Amino acid sequence: MTTTTFARVLGGIFGVGGNEPSTPAAPAPIVVGQGGCNERQVVIAGEARLFRDEGDVVVQFRPAFDYVLRDTPVGMKLVPSLEPHWAVVSEHQGSLRDAIAAAIRSAASPFPVEADAREIQPRARAPVAPGPATIDIDNEAPALASLAKAPTARRTERSHFGVVKEWGEREFPDGKRPGKTYEAFCLMLEHRGETSVLQGEGLRDAIAEAHCRLGDRVEVRRLGKTKVPAVDKRGQPKLDASGAQILWDKWLWSITKK
């Protein structure tokens, strides 16, 4: 019996296998937004953007939320997650600096402002329950005089200062339907013994970008509006008579820790 045959017999008895090559491990998934040397985070038009150099192309990302249809006390509602993820916006050819410059130029370019019925007709403020808290409503439309005087100009918004006490979904009285309420995302600040309640879905993005925690002393400022796709209670896109997607106004916010 040769040495090779004897080794095979021993291997069969004691379970000793040959020197077979092991299966290579699957590559680890790429995690975006960890502050790598090939990444840059900038704020363009009040919104955080991430640029990642992949070698042959520069990929641009923006914060986005996953929406889940949930049953709430006021019916089915499309609720965004609390933690955003980086969603791909576009790809750029060239260097990282060229990609950032192109994105800034694109955001600064003028665009027509569509004055739909919701923007033209001023909305009445929702009644606030008695108490020390004040509410800054997200969906308040600018006055007609402001639109006629400077259609593309942003209104000067005052800053709100205070300590972060709470944020999340909360019920508010509905000014259009007396006796009814609606749910909206809000941020509660306490300053000099008074509580301010700032309301608006755009606050989610600002809280995530500023990495806010309860007890932080912050300055909160409303920057301007952007357009987002409208959806119904079932999470389906809302379309007009021609089949085009209806857009809603969404306020952009800025939060700075003090």
- Residue 19 is predicted with a pLDDT of 54
Kindly state the percentage of the chain with pLDDT values over 70. Answer: 69
Tell me the HSE value of 20 on the side-chain side, using a 13 A CA sphere.
Answer: 5
- Maximum Cα–Cα distance for the chain, whole Å? 103
- Residue pLDDT, tens place only, 91-139: 888 888 888 888 888 776 544 434 343 433 444 444 445 455 555 554 4
* Residue 162 near residue 133 (C-beta atoms within 8 A): no
Report the predicted TM-score, pTM, of the whole model to 2 decimal places: 0.41
- Average pLDDT of the residues of the chain: 74
pLDDT at position 235, please? Answer: 72
HSE-CB at 3 with a 13 A cutoff on CA atoms is 0
Q: Residue range 218-243: average pLDDT?
A: 83
Rounded CA gap, 131 and 32, in Å? 44
pLDDT band at 150 (very low <50, low <70, confident <90, very high): very low
Both tokens assigned to 46? 């009040």
* Residue 220 confidence class, pLDDT cut points 50, 70, 90: very high
Ranges assigned E (strand) in 55-133:
58-64, 67-72, 75-80, 85-92
pLDDT at 149 over 50: no
In whole angstroms, give the CA distance from residue 255 to residue 46: 11
Handedness of CA 31, 53, 204, 126 (dihedral sign): negative
Residue ranges per structural domain of the chain: 39-108, 117-257
